[in-house]
Amino acid sequence: MQVLRFTVDKINKNMDLLPNITLGYHVYDSCGDPRHAIGSVLQILSGPGNVVPNYSCQDKGQIAGFIGDRSTISSLPIAQLLGIYGYLQISYGGTDPVLNDRTLYPYYYSTGSNERVQHIAIAELVEHLGWTWVIILAVDDDHAERESKNLSNEITQHGACVDFIGTLTEDKDTNIRTLERIQKSTAEVVILCGQTFRTTSLYYFVETMIEDKTLVVPVTWVSYYTIFLFNGSLCFKDPIFKFVDVTAFTTYVLAIKEDMLLKDIRMIEHDCFTHDKEKDTLFQRVYNTSFFMNCSSLQLPNATYHPSHQVHRAVFGLAHAEHNLLSANLNKERNKYIHQTQLHQYVRNVHFTEREREIHFNELMIFPVKYAIFSLYSDDDSRIFEKEIGEYSWKESGSSLEINTKEIIWKKDTNNQILKSQCSENCPPGYRKVSREGAPTCCYDCASCSEGEISFFSGN
């Protein structure tokens, strides 16, 4: 939210971008719920007062477009609704490739990560670390099954095997069976897929069941970690340094008069005390945390790895599209009504520079991608920390993965070696692999080489 306000303020001070026009905004929290998202969109379209579909009580200003949402589950219904009215939507986190269908969603764009690229990044990490036996775990929603299968296929193409795909539902008994199966599996690695768990209680329920497994956390997850579950795990994130002038943003945040909403957001997102002892105690009980700390305002803008640069890019993209539209209509009447569907044709040609990097929108919204890779660990005071141990870069022409495995803090004692996650141990020299009937290729037995034959290397 602060990045949105900062970016709008920056645009309004730029006399060359939108001259004689002031950009405003409405801010609504969807809570990641499709119903809240649709309700908020209808409220904005209707204007102040009661929601009246297909009717607007706006007394001034035109709606240029919508920024959001972060999750696919709420971005999708927004795109369906706005497609009817012809309003531009720029998401900063929706990853479902179905949203790239220009026939179904002609007004949808995204500055967020591409789901396929996330899957490739995870598969290449699994391959790089030598893991051949993993589990995929997702929360049951409209696209979890499809996304899990796509991730599984990508991992398989990179030479590893998936023991099984587990799905967490609203039914506790079903979840217990899924988590017990994870406990019994010889796979040491569980890859989280899709959107984050919906409730805090589900986090702790999962934690008590599989706290000894190492997690791989995708970039689509929020930065909320329970100590024992995420300790010793690996996490993909969007690096913050890509987004804007951090110094200017810090100065902007420090100048904002603190209010109750910002205090609550700071508490939840950064584990910071609010100086309200009763509220601090309540939040610690609700979130089962004992590691809250005193945070200065200066720490906060630099501490977050939320999709700040994606929000910044989305707002600037919309502003540049508006600039292109107005430039094309310079010879027309100044106050002539411009229909919202006209903005769509200009966003496709948006092109601007962000920190010496060329940014443009294309039809499939596949940008060059860079992820930071973190090792998550806890200290003696049960606080969770992040250590950046590598990065992953992707573009259409290829990808690269750089990771310092010596810096990874594993959940289990690995004797300073990379954690192993295999269905079967490598066959020693002099032995060969023998496939198990009906088992994946990663699961095999070892048998002595035939007379006159020998294997010189382990794993052959």
Tell me the per-residue pLDDT of 88-102, one tens digit each, with 9 for 90 and over. Answer: 999 988 778 888 888
**What are the helix (H) ranges across 199-307?**
200-210, 227-230, 246-254, 260-270, 277-286, 299-303
**Cα–Cα distance, 54 to 37 (Å, whole number):** 17
What average pLDDT does the segment 423-437 reach? Answer: 90
Q: Over 80: is that where the pLDDT of 311 sits?
A: yes
Q: Measured between alpha carbons, how far is residue 201 from residues 35, 47, 172, 182, 360 in Å? A: 22, 37, 11, 19, 41
Is 135 in the same domain as 230? Answer: yes
pLDDT in the model for residue 328:
83
Q: What is the pLDDT of residues 198-213, one digit of tens each?
A: 666 777 788 878 889 9
Checking if the pLDDT of 120 tops 90, the result is yes
Q: Does 354 have pLDDT greater than 90?
A: no
pLDDT value of residue 71 = 82
Same domain, yes or no: 383 and 397: yes
Lowest-confidence segment of 202-216, 331-345, 388-402 by average pLDDT? 331-345
H helices then E strands: how many in the chain?
Answer: 14, 15
Judgement on whether residues 122 and 232 belong to the same structural domain of the protein: yes
Do 432 and 460 touch, CB atoms closer than 8 A? yes
- Check residue 368 and give its pLDDT: 66
Give residue-wise pLDDT tens across range 67-80. Answer: 989 888 899 999 99
In a domain? residue 39: yes
Asked if residue 50 belongs to a domain, the reply is yes
pLDDT score of 58: 76
Q: How confident is the model at residue 363 (pLDDT cuts 50, 70, 90)?
A: low
Q: 279 in a domain, yes or no?
A: no
What's the whole-model pTM score? 0.79
Strand partners, 191: 136, 216
Residue 241 has pLDDT above 50, yes or no: no
283 is a domain residue: no
Work out the average pLDDT over 105-130.
91
Please report which helix (H) or strand (E) contains residue 319, including its range: helix 308-328
Residue 37, pLDDT score: 94
pLDDT mean over 39-68: 87
> Based on the domain organization, do 99 and 119 belong to the same domain?
no
In three-state secondary structure terms, 375 is strand
234 and 127 inside one domain: yes
In a domain, residue 455? The reply is yes
Indicate the helix (H) or strand (E) that contains 2. helix 2-12
Q: Are 40 and 145 in the same domain? A: no
Of the residues 354, 386, 416, which one is the last residue of a structural domain?
A: 354
Q: What is the mean pLDDT of the chain?
A: 82
| Residues 416-436, mean pLDDT to the nearest whole number | 91
Residues 82 and 124 reside in one and the same domain: no
- Write down the pLDDT at residue 192: 93
- Separation of alpha carbons 77 and 419, rounded Å: 41
Does 272 fall in a domain? no
Same-domain status, 176 and 62? no
- What pLDDT is stored for residue 383 in this prediction? 72
The predicted structure's pLDDT at residue 349: 77
| Within a domain: 348 | yes
Q: How many domains does the chain have?
A: 3
Whether 219 is covered by a domain: the verdict is: yes
Q: Are residues 100 and 199 in the same domain?
A: no
Q: What is the DSSP letter of 293?
A: B
The domain of 447 spans 425-460
Most distant pair of Cα atoms in the chain: their distance: 91
41 with 138, same domain: the answer is no
pLDDT in tens, 242-301: 455 666 776 776 677 766 666 676 666 666 677 777 877 777 676 655 556 666 554 554
Look up the CATH number of the domain holding residue 201.
3.40.50.2300
Residues of the chain above pLDDT 90, percent: 37
With a cut of 90, say whether residue 115 has pLDDT above it: no
- Is residue 356 helix, strand or coil? coil
- Looking at per-residue confidence, does 197 or 49 come out higher? 49
DSSP-derived letter for residue 49 is S
